[in-house]
């Protein structure tokens, strides 16, 4: 099995953070139905939109996270947009494909070939419900996955009550931090600190601020690691990319990314004083 040759997600994240001190992950949830009217008539609307959004937000992004669902929903054209998007993002910015996969070994290997060898993303999101079968192929390739641990949706409480989130966090301790991070939803306010303590040294991907209502300052205070790097990525999708649906969508996205990055820097600095 070919190992991932390029610099791994873990190192790309650390270097990008040190270079621009931003923990912002721009979510490319480029839902065709939500695109500005002016873009919808182009040959490949999602690609045209993404290119403009990436150019507008590049200075503030620590990482990008396209969500596979929105590309599949636009058929072959959407997949073409996804390939073009991943290729367009500069190599020093890590790309996380949000695909939430988790399956038996040979199926996992097919997914991993598709995403790491063909599409060439730096990391994926992974659903651990099937057990360790889903983790080993990632580690064997020296790839990187964010394991769903405590999600941002309302029904995540079902798993919390069963102690699943803590179980997954404890289970992760047997796997290298260079290969596995964890997803912790920003809406899980009461549990973020506990999860961070169980996941020391690991990169946490935190979705759920903005449109889903998670509180940015609390999240940053509780989720940041005690090391030199906060080891967090705070994802925002709709509130950035659809900040405006008019002709000014690129400047509106840039302004939203700038504002969020500044708010995050302030909150992180305040915590360290």
Ligand X SMILES: O=C(O)c1cc(=O)[nH]c(=O)n1[C@@H]1O[C@H](COP(=O)(O)O)[C@@H](O)[C@H]1O
Determine which helix (DSSP H) or strand (DSSP E) holds 260, and give its type and residue range: helix 249-272
- The stretch among 133-141, 224-232, 236-244, 264-272 that binds ligand X (CB under 6 A) is 236-244
C-alpha–C-alpha distance, residues 25 and 235, integer Å: 4
Residue (10 or 159) nearer to ligand X, CB: 159
List the one residue from 8, 231, 235, 261 that touches ligand X (CB under 6 A).
235
The 67-106 site mask, x for binding ligand X (CB under 6 A), equals x------------------------------x-x------
* 164 close to 131: Cβ distance less than 8 angstroms: no
How many residues of this chain bind ligand X (CB under 6 A)? 19
- Asked if 66 interacts with ligand X (CB under 6 A), we say no
* Structural contact between residues 264 and 258, judged by C-beta atoms closer than 8 angstroms: no
Residue 28 CB, nearest distance to ligand X (Å)?
A: 9
Residue with tokens 């940015």: 216
Least Cβ distance, residue 66 to ligand X (angstroms)? 9
The partner residues of 128 in beta bridges, in order of sequence, read: none
| Piece of the chain touching ligand X by CB under 6 A; list 76-84, 193-201, 210-218, 253-261 | 210-218
Helix (H) or strand (E) holding 229: none
Per CB under 6 A, 58 contacts ligand X:
no
* E-assigned strand segments in the chain: 24-28, 63-66, 96-101, 123-126, 145-150, 180-184, 204-206, 232-236
Comparing CB distances to ligand X, the nearer of 153 and 262 is 153
Residue 65: phi and psi, rounded to 5, are -135, 90
Which of 50, 231, 237, 261 is in the footprint of ligand X by CB under 6 A? 237
Q: What are phi and psi of 165, to 5 degrees?
A: -60, -45
The CB-of-26 to ligand X minimum distance in angstroms stands at 10
Span from 37-45, 134-142, 190-198, 207-215 in contact with ligand X (CB under 6 A): 207-215
CA atoms of 70 and 93, how far apart (whole Å): 21
Q: Is 238 a residue that touches ligand X (CB under 6 A)?
A: yes
Which listed residue (22, 30, 57, 151) binds ligand X by CB under 6 A?
A: 151
Pick from 23, 24, 27, 101: which binds ligand X (CB under 6 A)? 27
Cα–Cα nearest to 139, from 98, 97, 92, 174: 174
Minimum Å gap between C-beta 182 and ligand X is 10
For residue 99, which of 113, 111, 83 has the smallest C-alpha distance?
A: 111
Ranges of H-type helices in 58-163: 68-72, 75-88, 105-112, 136-140, 156-161
User: Which residues have a catalytic role annotated?
Assistant: 100
Binding site for ligand X (CB under 6 A): 27, 29, 67, 98, 100, 125, 151-152, 183, 185, 207-208, 210-212, 235-238
């Amino acid at each position: 099995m070919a190992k991932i040759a390029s610099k791994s997600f873990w190192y790309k994240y650390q270097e990008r953070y040190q270079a621009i001190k931003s923990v912002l992950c721009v979510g490319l949830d480029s839902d065709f139905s939500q695109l500005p009217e002016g873009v919808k008539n182009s040959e490949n609307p999602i690609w045209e939109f993404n290119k403009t959004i990436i150019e507008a937000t590049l200075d503030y992004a620590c990482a990008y996270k396209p969500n596979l669902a929105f590309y599949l929903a636009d058929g072959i054209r959407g997949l073409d947009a996804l390939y073009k998007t991943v290729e367009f993002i500069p190599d020093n910015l890590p790309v996380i494909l949000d695909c939430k996969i988790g399956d038996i070994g040979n199926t996992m290997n097919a997914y991993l070939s598709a995403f790491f060898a063909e599409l060439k993303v730096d990391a994926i999101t992974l659903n651990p419900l099937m057990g360790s079968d889903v983790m080993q192929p990632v580690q064997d390739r020296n790839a990187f996955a964010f394991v769903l641990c405590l999600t941002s949706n309302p029904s995540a409480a079902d798993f919390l009550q069963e102690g699943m989130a803590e179980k997954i966090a404890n289970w992760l301790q047997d796997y290298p931090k260079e290969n596995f991070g964890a997803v912790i939803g920003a809406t899980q306010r009461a549990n973020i600190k506990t999860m961070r303590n169980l996941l020391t040294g690991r990169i946490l991907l935190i979705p759920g601020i903005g449109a889903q209502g998670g509180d940015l300052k609390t999240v940053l205070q509780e989720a940041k690691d005690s090391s030199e790097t906060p080891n967090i990525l705070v994802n925002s999708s709709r509130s950035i990319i659809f900040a405006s649906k008019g002709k000014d969508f690129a400047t509106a996205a840039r302004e939203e990314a700038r504002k969020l990055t500044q708010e995050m820097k302030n909150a992180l600095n305040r915590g360290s004083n």
